Amino acid sequence: MLTGLQMGDLLITRRLLLPLSQKHLRRSRWGCWRCWVQVCSSLGAKRPCLFDCIVKTRLPLDGSLFFVYFRQFFRVSCHTKQNGVCITSFGGYNWVEQPMKIVSLLPSATEIVYALGLGESLAARTHECDYPAEVREKPVITKSVLPEGLSSSEIDAAVREQLNSSHSLYAIDRDLLAATQPDVILTQQLCAVCAVSYDDVLDAVRTLPAPGPCLVNLEPTTLAAVWDTITRVGAAVGRENEADCLTKSLRARVESVRERAAWANARPRTVLLEWLDPLFCGGHWDPELVEIAGGFDGLGRMHAPSTQISWDSVREFAPEVLVVAQCGFGIERTAQDMAQFQLLPGYGALPAVQNRRVYLVNGSDYFSRPGPRLADSLEILASLIHPELFGKMPLSPEQVMPWNP
């Protein structure tokens, strides 16, 4: 795997100094780290206290911390890069930094990886991962088994049929997974419609050679749980500090919206729809976003899966604000469904329609992805529900489109 190295080299992952014993070659893995060690027989005797302390406490190290802890012990003689592997020599010993390899099976997890500054470590992604733009250059490891060009009702019928037959909606490229040999796989068990089924992931992982990758299962149902998944990913990939800073920033944005929305004189009746044919209300974190933004969603299922609802229930609720955030769809695709949706009996009598407060939002990029951009989703909602408090945000046509045909 690594060339140009000799016995006596000390191989270290991006974050951890490894156990200094040849026997650990067969089982040298802490947490999610895949490790390789080649140790000079005299190295431990030379610095036993220094290395034993680090091994026992499992002290995390990154590039900067490494020099803080070691510069008083070693004189750096050179720093080179061979075949993408950083090699730094310390007084005759080499420190080898091998980039970790991450496979993301969720678009939201991919966004978290990039937000933590580990885009270069992403080895493979799903066919739906499209943010940030540079992720499109990464190898694709999944595909949908549903044919293209289906209408929303046909997609719903196909999904139900697949799930009833215990078949996954997505397939994973096992050959690519085996060739990648990832250190970490980010996946989920929450929704069989959103990603490769968890059982399929487990089955694919069992075919990999030991010790195998660390499998990180992300399944948030609340906004706080979404921020916690960022913390979990940060811990799994050795970016705890970055994750802490990111989550603090996101929580601050949420609280800013909450505090400003508290000044509202009223909470407009708001309906957020996750699907149009058939109708599905908002679920999990979406009703929570509506509440924080100062609206009242009487049809949504907060912190629970979205469910099918009747058109009569929408008419009876008489929403003052109607937001359509179709799961996995952008605005252009949602607009195609709206042409039929607006023909439903009584649509024109809804207060939201009469007051021109029907909005199509990008569910695929924002509301359907439990990642950092849920904070953007909240700010978008707040500007739609309470423009008198939040003003008109500089929203792009790819984020929001008023529907006033």
Residues 98-137 pLDDT 10s:
578 999 999 999 999 999 999 999 999 999 999 999 999 9
Q: In the chain, what percentage of residues exceed pLDDT 70?
A: 73
Give the integer Cα–Cα distance in Å for 248 and 265. 29
Which of the two residues, 394 and 17, has the higher pLDDT score? 394
Asked whether the bond before 182 is cis by omega within 30 degrees of 0, the reply is no
User: What value does the CA radius of gyration of the chain take, rounded to a whole number of Å?
Assistant: 25
Q: What's the rounded Cα separation, in Å, for the pair 191 and 185?
A: 17
Q: What is the pLDDT of residue 11?
A: 40
d(CA 138, CA 256) in angstroms, rounded, equals: 36
Q: Residue 58's pLDDT band (boundaries 50, 70, 90)?
A: very low
* Residues linked to residue 142 through DSSP beta bridges, in sequence order: 172
Whether the CB-CB separation of 66 and 13 falls below 8 Å is answered with no
Residue holding tokens 């008489």?
Answer: 318
Q: Which range has the worst mean pLDDT, 129-138, 191-200, 322-331, 364-373?
A: 191-200
Mean of pLDDT values over 91-100 = 54
The pLDDT assigned to 132 comes to 96
**Which residue, among 262, 323, 331, 327, has the nearest Cα to 297 in the 3D structure?**
323
Residue 189, pLDDT score: 75
Segment 279-307 shows an average pLDDT of 96
Task: State the pLDDT confidence band at 290, using cuts at 50, 70 and 90.
Answer: very high
For the chain, how far is it from start to end, CA to CA, in angstroms? 61
Say if residues 38 and 9 touch (Cβ distance below 8 Å): yes
CA dihedral sign, ordered 366, 371, 373, 378: positive
Tokens of 77: 């003689």
Q: Whose CA is closest to 114, among 81, 87, 86, 137?
A: 137
The span from the CA of 30 to the CA of 54, in Å, is: 13
Sign of the alpha-carbon dihedral angle for 147, 151, 154, 158: positive
User: Two tokens at 160?
Assistant: 């139900």
In 145-168, which positions are buried (b, 16+ CB within 10 angstroms) versus exposed (e)?
eeeeeeebeebbeeeeebeeeeeb
Residues 6+ apart with CB under 8 A from 259: none
Q: Given a cut of 90, is residue 312 above it in pLDDT?
A: yes
> Of the candidates 371, 366, 367, 135, which has an alpha carbon nearest to the alpha carbon of residue 247?
371
Span of 84-98, 232-246, 310-324 with lowest mean pLDDT: 84-98
Average pLDDT over residues 149-176: 82
Amino acid code (one letter) for 243: A
Asked whether the domain spanning 265-402 has the same topology as the one spanning 102-219, the reply is: yes
Q: pLDDT category, 349, cuts 50, 70, 90?
A: very high
Question: In sequence order, which residues have a C-beta less than 8 Å from that of residue 206 and are 6 or more positions away?
Answer: none
Are 372 and 115 spatial neighbours (Cβ–Cβ below 8 Å)?
A: yes
| Distance set, CA 373 to CA 60, 130, 191, 335 (Å) | 29, 13, 19, 22
* Confidence class for position 27, pLDDT limits 50, 70, 90: very low
157 pLDDT band, cuts 50/70/90, is: confident
Query: Is residue 91 scored above 70 in pLDDT?
Result: no
pLDDT for the residue 19: 36
d(CA 355, CA 402): 11
Q: Is the pLDDT of residue 50 over 60?
A: no
Length of the chain: 405
User: pLDDT tens digits, residue range 166-189?
Assistant: 667 888 999 999 999 898 999 987
pTM: 0.78
Residue 46 confidence (pLDDT) above 70: no
Strand ranges, E, within 266-378: 270-276, 279-281, 283-284, 301-302, 321-324, 358-361
Let me know: does 350 contact 226? Beta carbons within 8 Å: no
The hierarchical CATH code for the domain 102-219 is 3.40.50.1980
Give dist(CA 301, CA 285) in Å, integer. 9
Q: What is the mean pLDDT of the chain?
A: 78
Confidence (pLDDT) at 173: 94
Q: Residue 167: its pLDDT value, please?
A: 66
- Dist CA 298 CA 389 (whole Å): 22
Domains of the chain, by residue range, sit at 10-98, 102-219, 265-402
pLDDT for the residue numbered 218: 92
Confidence of residue 196 (pLDDT cuts 50, 70, 90): confident
**pLDDT digits over 200-255, tens only?**
888 898 888 877 888 899 989 999 999 999 999 998 888 999 999 999 999 999 99
- According to CATH, the topology of domain 265-402 is Rossmann fold (3.40.50)
